Amino acid sequence: MKYSHSKVDNLECFMDKLTHFKTFIAIVEKGNLKNAADYLNLTPSAVSKHLSSLEGIYKADLIIRDSKKIRITHQGSCFYKKCKKVIDSLLEAEAILQTTHTLSPCTLNITLSQVLAQSPLMKALKLFSQKYPHIKLQILVSNKNLDLLKDSIDFAFRGGKLADSQVKYLPITHANLRLAASPEFDMANHTRDPIQLIKDSLIIPSYINLSELRGYLAKIGIRQALELFSACDDAFAYKNAIVEGMGIGVFLDFFIQDEINQNRLVILNSPYSFNYNQLNINMLFHKNVSLPPHHALFKDFIEQHFKQNPWHTI
């Protein structure tokens, strides 16, 4: 079948529109043109041109810009919802073809910590494997921050602040850090001074950010060196130690959900309140201009899964 010039021109016009749709979606979801440009691996000027082209085609203001932020117009909001459906439908159709015909079997190397191995992330990995059985997952559970390039890691899942400029990261959800103890420990010590009790009984886990913990302790008046606290470098042994009443523990909320439900641990609130920021759970991957097809499938699947299934916190 030969295409006439008009058909080729129409196809090119259609592809340009799809590119502009994706750009507009990124602007809305990332909050501004710069973030959208970083996400799409484009320059801010290219993103601005795509937006201007869309507004020119449809003779409508989709976004109102000022020096600090953007505001989506009513027309822009309606247009975004329709664009999103179009792009999602195309991605689903493409995934079907890729899964059945195009994509060859491959393996993705993934690393996550002991704690995250007990999180809803594992269900997401299971669902991905069921949807894309030709993509095998090699999962390395380690509390060390492995180097993605040196250790041949495709994706890493980590919590907290990240400063590695050699990789990209995508926040997928968050968790809360809580102080907890066994009910027996709490009852036996409920009359003691809470600050002194934390000083005497806190056990430090391997997965916590020590600088932020040091800041928290300083805020409540404890300036004792962290080396003088008890510590444990295994997440499961740490949890068992706190369940058995050895002291006070610091936990990501999902990691002790079952123990809370079974009354094997209790959250220590006032006067023990752990005033700690929410901890972002991030997905890290290589800083490529464009991800290989298998990698892009995995990244998009995990991102969409947690948008639709946010973690519940306690």
pLDDT digit string, tens, across residues 124-182: 999 999 999 999 999 999 888 888 888 889 999 988 766 666 788 889 988 888 899 99
Least-confidence region, from 49-63, 121-135, 206-220 = 206-220
Distances (CA, A) of 208 to 122, 177, 228: 21, 9, 16
Please confirm whether the linkage preceding 194 is cis (ω < 30° from 0).
no
The tokens describing 111, both together, are 């690393």
pLDDT at position 287, please?
80
**Average pLDDT score over residue span 271-290:** 74
Q: What are phi and psi of 134, to 5 degrees?
A: -80, -10
Cα–Cα distance measured from residue 184 to residue 266, given in angstroms and rounded to the nearest whole number: 10
Regarding pTM above 0.75, the answer is no
For residues 267 and 180, the answer to whether their CB atoms sit within 8 Å is yes
Q: How much of the chain, in percent, has pLDDT values that exceed 70?
A: 86
Of 59-63, 244-248, 268-272, the one with minimum mean pLDDT is 268-272
- Cα R_g (the chain), whole angstroms: 24
Please classify residue 35 by burial: count the beta carbons closer than 10 Å to its beta carbon, then call 0-12 exposed, 13-18 middle and 19+ buried. Answer: middle
What pLDDT, on a 0 to 100 scale, did the predictor assign at position 278? 73
- Statement: residue 26 has pLDDT above 60: yes
Task: Please state which CATH number belongs to domain 5-99.
Answer: 1.10.10.10
| CATH number assigned to the domain covering 105-175+279-308 | 3.40.190.10
Question: Alpha-carbon distance 109 to 150, whole Å?
Answer: 12
What tokens does 180 get?
């907890």
Per CATH, the number for 177-267 is 3.40.190.10
Query: In CATH terms, are 5-99 and 177-267 the same topology?
Result: no
CA dihedral angle for residue 310, residue 287, residue 67, residue 51, rounded to 10 degrees: -90
Q: Answer whether residue 69 shows pLDDT above 50.
A: yes
94-98, 114-118, 242-246: the lowest-pLDDT one: 94-98
> What are the boundaries of each domain within the chain?
5-99, 105-175+279-308, 177-267
- Count CB-CB contacts under 10 A for residue 34: 13
Taking all residues of the chain, what is their mean pLDDT, rounded to a whole number?
A: 85
- Identify the pLDDT of residue 65: 78
